[in-house]
Amino acid sequence: MDTYGLIGYPLGHSFSQSFFTDKFENEGIDAEYKNFEISSIDLLPDIIAANPTLRGLNVTIPYKEKVIPFLDEVSKEARAIGAVNVIRVERRGNTRQLIGYNSDVIGFTESIEPLLKPTHKKAMILGTGGASKAVNYALRKLGLETVYVSRYQRPGTVTYKDINAAALREYPVIVNGTPVGMYPRSMECPQLPYEHMDANNLLFDLIYNPDRTLFMQRGEAQGATVKNGLEMLLLQALASWNFWQQ
């Protein structure tokens, strides 16, 4: 039986195990999917060594960037993004190779593209982690200008304090790539001037638990189009499977 799994910390929020378990059962695939909750990325080699049937891993918060030095090869796209969320484990005799990919960019692109309007020329990306990097890569490939929003002053970013009514008009697309608002802290949301949003704004939350975050609710109350990350999750999971089967 082949083994697949997820590394990250914590993993209480993840739907990946149930998704792949259902897929394997429904399609008669002789495989299992395990959660590997590790407190440090330095434990990855132990996971690989202890699971000789392991053929692939998904990678989630906070290891999408930290995992790269542990890999033998990284796809051109994942290298350009600067983040990996899929690892294919290739074993030939006593040799083993770990190859990194990024399926977030595939899932996000296919999920947001139908919602984009001709007026959506610029986007704000909340957060600067691995998922946000995939979002940035995807949006730029779709022709949008982007800017990162951070809690801290950093080169090439703006802070939440910089966002006003004019910024929301200039950057009508807003993608939340942070964990703010994720269960169980679902009564939190990014600090934005929601009262200045309107029907031209598009709010995309990578969070999928809860299915309607406070970020989405507050934008929707102003007439904005909103979407959560569930479809993105499903699309990137299917892309992960394709990477593993190459």
Catalytically active residues, by annotation: 64
Question: What tokens appear for 43 in the block?
Answer: 């434990």
DSSP string spanning the chain? -EEEEEEES--TT--HHHHHHHHHHHHT--EEEEEEE-SSGGGHHHHHHH-TTEEEEEE-TT-TTTTGGG-SEE-HHHHHHT---EEEEEEETTEEEEEEE--HHHHHHHHHGGG--TT--EEEEE--SHHHHHHHHHHHHTT-EEEEEESS--TTEEEGGG--HHHHHHS-EEEE-S-TT-TTSTT------GGG--TT-EEEES--SSSS-HHHHHHHTTT-EEE-SHHHHHHHHHHHHHHHT-
How far is it, in rounded angstroms, from Cα 80 to Cα 77? 5
C-alpha angle 148/178/235, rounded to 5°?
Answer: 100
CA-CA distances (angstroms) from residue 169 to 18, 60, 185, 198, 242?
40, 32, 29, 9, 39
